[in-house]
Structure 1
């Protein structure tokens, strides 16, 4: 077999493919599940505490066979069990979206308020968890020969501005980890980060829609990012960015400028 693969393959069809989405029961994860299901994918909806939400979402998605799966970011054994469950039910995984995450609003100048337990929880959930998920699903993703991992990152990774210093650090780690993984998982698996600025969800405790609108007003496009805007970027990265890997797609209305 040639060491080169043929380019010009056109869009990546999701018909008959299986997408695993961590944090899939709400926010960006749920919006992504809807978009990928509309495009033809069968969805494994990863959840931690949101089993009821995941089950309700599975019932309302277009298509059939969607499956809620317990994928807690802090438990590598449970993540491996989830990969085994997906294999047993579907026999394949073609797309992995790491959308699960956590943060806590801590003023950057208040170093003492960012205690060790909070810092560790953020790094475990936002960095080790996605790595453990990729590690567990890599054999299944490789099997198909043309898979995609999307890590939901944040503009905070490059600006150092965000809900907490630990959160910013965790997303910078995700982006760098994505570059490392793209080198070793190719050619069978692409790895792309999708990095939004503030999104109108309840992800950041205490930040209401007014705070997101204020940030959006300071951007060139002056558009409030909704969860579906990020989901559309994920869909585009999966289906059309066929030669992109180890890179970051920024979705921020130009806030980085």
Structure 2
């Protein structure tokens, strides 16, 4: 039937599969690594400057075979080397979570405060980096014929409210890129996004917890989003949203309302 696959695929079992999580040494990425490992995946924890954290996390994850992986978003050659390392160590890749990112708090009206260097750094890390990672790992992901890429995006892509104009733009670009790549990489690879609002981490420099509490109080669900809330959404996207691709899911407590 023109290469069509049968529907009703059932849950995506993670036992014996391999996952790479960029930005996996802390925050949302670390929570994703824990949840994937709990379900039986072997996890390579990507890091840039957090090697010690990545190695410590790899040692404490349930199951075996986990590893740390140098995976800097600003260095495409190093990303390609990481893909080569994963192929040599594991021989396969089934799940790629693009969790690495950066920002800087700059008031949106302060146009001069958002200098070119900051703007470029945010776009390179948050957009080019995930693209270069997908590009490097695509041959390995395709090999199994049933792989998943999940990008950690943000509500900022939708409402234009966030730590800086550049950050909002970068996450909007990430969402659009997911649509383009979902077309290009199917049927072997699904591409999805998960978009939280503010998450209870130290991701945004200078953002205190009171600001996060105030934001959560304005949402219908009135819940402060924890990294594990995002990780559970990633896990659901990987294991149960078998017919979803090219879409980004809000996990924001209703903040968009």
TM-score between the two structures when normalised by the length of structure 1: 0.99
Distance, in Å, in 2 between the alignment partners of 1:249 and 1:17 is 24
- The answer for the alignment partner of 1:122 in structure 2 is 122
- The answer for the alignment partner of 2:30 in structure 1 is 30
- The answer for the alignment partner of 1:84 in structure 2 is 84
Local SS of the residue matching 2:122? helix
Distance, in Å, in 1 between the alignment partners of 2:33 and 2:2 is 36
- Quote how far apart the aligned CAs of 1:209 are: 1.6
Local SS of the residue matching 2:228? helix
Distance, in Å, in 1 between the alignment partners of 2:55 and 2:31 is 15
Q: How many residues align?
A: 257
Distance, in Å, in 2 between the alignment partners of 1:58 and 1:223 is 30
- The answer for the alignment partner of 2:8 in structure 1 is 8
- The answer for the alignment partner of 1:172 in structure 2 is 172
- In the TM superposition, 1:1-257 aligns within 5 A as 2-257=2-257
Distance, in Å, in 2 between the alignment partners of 1:135 and 1:250 is 25
- Quote how far apart the aligned CAs of 1:138 are: 0.2
Local SS of the residue matching 2:69? strand
> Which runs of no fewer than 5 residues in structure 2 stay unpaired?
none
Which segment is superposed worse, 202-211 or 51-60?
202-211
Distance, in Å, in 2 between the alignment partners of 1:214 and 1:164 is 19
- Quote how far apart the aligned CAs of 1:2 are: 4.6
Distance, in Å, in 1 between the alignment partners of 2:9 and 2:124 is 37
Local SS of the residue matching 1:84? helix
Runs (4+) of structure 1 exceeding 6 A deviation are none
Q: CA RMSD in A?
A: 0.7
Distance, in Å, in 1 between the alignment partners of 2:16 and 2:112 is 50
Distance, in Å, in 1 between the alignment partners of 2:209 and 2:54 is 24
- Quote how far apart the aligned CAs of 1:208 are: 1.8
Distance, in Å, in 1 between the alignment partners of 2:241 and 2:74 is 31
TM-score between the two structures when normalised by the length of structure 2: 0.99
- Quote how far apart the aligned CAs of 1:9 are: 1.6
Distance, in Å, in 2 between the alignment partners of 1:13 and 1:211 is 39
Local SS of the residue matching 2:62? coil
